Amino acid sequence: MPFSNQIKIMKAFSIKTDNISKKMGLNTALDGISMVFKEGLLNGIIGSGGAGKTTLIRTLMGLLKPDSGCISYMENSKIVSFDKVRPRMAYMPGAQSLYPDLSVLEHLDFFRKLYGLSDGDYSLKKKELLKITRLEKFQERKAGHLSGGMYKKLGLMCSLLSSPSILLLDEPTNGVDPISRREFWALLYKLAAQNILIIIATAYMDEAERCSSVYLMDKGKLIISGEPREILDRKKVKSFEEIFLTGNMEKV
């Protein structure tokens, strides 16, 4: 079920990185990364642990600054300042960030106050978000007692209350059962249809094929980018897992 017109995003945002690099201590977490993330697409950053996914997400979010290179933020194809874009961004970190002793409803109320939503906007968004996540019956359940899948959905709802134009997700399905993962991705497809810019980092190779555009990373470097099927054909493999298992990681 699509969001109402009040939640639907009208402006088109995109992000471009140009040769950005970032060191974390002695480790080069990002090494000359150039990518273009477009609205209305599921942009996937794929890689195993230590690939640089989290560092990239945090850099795009403005939590880290690149040591070199630049990031361009665009609204309707025109470059705008990060200060203008930042209020339209939402970030869902990979680590658990919710309060275990607060219920689903208490979390929504907390973020409602944080975002300064009016009674009317909050009532509408809460109703729709609870419906699409199928958490209406669990509003009084504490976050610490939710299943992995429901916990992730609650985190997504809290991010979406602000009606973001840009949604950054760091391994949102990590540790979630297969059925809940499928339901979570169904939610992302609905969001992408609302012209939201979605960037999702994941270590699950099968999730690469669910994306519209993917960027494969390894040890801080961008190895391959493009549409999933085009990449598999180019590498002459049947799955992204094969690329990593066979060591077929030469940059192309």
Task: Name the DSSP letter for residue 9.
Answer: -
CB within 8 Å of 71: residues ≥ 6 apart: 15, 16, 17, 18, 20, 59, 60, 82
Q: What is the pLDDT of residues 119-177, one digit of tens each?
A: 998 998 899 899 888 899 999 999 999 988 889 889 988 988 988 999 999 999 888 88
Q: Please report whether residue 107 resides in a domain.
A: no
- CA diameter of the chain: 55
pTM for the complete prediction? Answer: 0.86
The answer to whether the Cα torsion of 121, 92, 98, 149 is positive or negative is positive
Q: Please report whether residue 32 resides in a domain.
A: yes
CA angle in degrees (0–180, nearest 5) for 138-144-145:
50
pLDDT at 181: 85
Q: What is the pLDDT of residues 34-45, one digit of tens each?
A: 999 998 889 999
Q: At what angle do helices 178-192 and 148-160 cross, to 10 degrees?
A: 20
Q: Please report whether residue 115 resides in a domain.
A: no
Q: Please report whether residue 153 resides in a domain.
A: no
Which token pair is 166?
């840009």
Q: Please report whether residue 19 resides in a domain.
A: yes
Q: At what angle do helices 148-160 and 119-133 cross, to 10 degrees?
A: 150
Q: Please report whether residue 122 resides in a domain.
A: no
Which token pair is 175?
């540790």
Which token pair is 35?
């990518």
Q: Please report whether residue 149 resides in a domain.
A: no
Q: Please report whether residue 194 resides in a domain.
A: yes
The residue among 79 and 251 whose pLDDT is bigger is: 79
pLDDT confidence band for 241 (50 / 70 / 90): confident
Question: Which residues constitute the domain of residue 231?
Answer: 13-99+163-245
Q: How many domains in the chain?
A: 1
Q: Coil, helix or strand for 81?
A: coil
CATH number for the domain including 32?
A: 3.40.50.300
Res. 202: pLDDT tops 90: yes
Measured in degrees and rounded to the nearest 5, phi and psi for residue 187 equal -65, -40
